[in-house]
Amino acid sequence: MRILLVEDDKEAATYLVKGLTESGHTVEHAADGDTGLQLAMENAYDAMIVDRMLPRRDGLSLIEEIRKSGNNTPVLILSALDNVDERITGLKAGGDDYLTKPYSLSELTARLFALTRRAQSGTSETVLRVGDLSLDLIKHKVTRAGENINLQPREFRLLEYLMQHTGQVVTRSMLLENVWDYHFDPQTNVIDVQISRLRSKIDKDFDTPLLHTVRGAGYKLQEESRGISMS
């Protein structure tokens, strides 16, 4: 991916540029909002990472300007402001996702991947598939190898989110925000319990496991388990 990073914190910018470049991406960096806006208007990017608090022009103003110009490049907002109202303000300004500081590089790259994947698809799929597992969003039906699997509403939403991020590591904070709508860590084992229940339904009676635990990182739904540590 070709990524525009607009971040005035030199240490944070160096960290991100290094990490994203090592992951195979091309990164252009702007240290202030005006420079970031100019680059966004003059060049094509697959995604943008924009810090909210910037010199010369704040991040939200930058995003609003590029949206007015018809630029729909996916934008991930970075901010130290973590309350719900601030997130909503960022999304209303035209951001596609909102990541609070401090963050992990693995979560940032996972969110970027999800944003660009949605942008490239152009349409919303109604049936999600991973191997012989399918989830029908319209009929609210899950099957594996032709067998019906009965899921509770939260289990269904959890599986839907994992299938929408097939092949990616999904972190606990991503699940808390997008499946439970928590913007804080409730300090409970709710995710572990639900993952265990879901795994018992979609994997237990089948030869090939699909739901994997990536130790120290999160969870991943995919066909191949090569190189993945199972819980």
Residue 183 pLDDT > 70: no
Alpha carbons within 13 A on the beta-carbon side of 21? 10
* pLDDT tens track for 8-42: 999 999 999 999 988 888 899 999 999 999 999 98
pTM: 0.57
Distances (CA, A) of 124 to 121, 127, 128: 7, 9, 10
Amino acid found at 68? K
* pLDDT tens track for 123-178: 456 788 999 999 988 788 999 999 999 999 889 989 998 998 888 888 888 888 77
Q: For the stretch 65-74, what's the b/e string if a residue is b when 16 or more beta carbons lie within 10 angstroms of its beta carbon? A: bbeeeebebb
Among 123, 163, 171, 124, which Cα is nearest to 143's? Answer: 163
Alpha carbons within 13 A on the beta-carbon side of 9? 13
Q: State the DSSP code for 204.
A: T
For CA atoms 180, 82, 219, 188, give the dihedral sign: negative
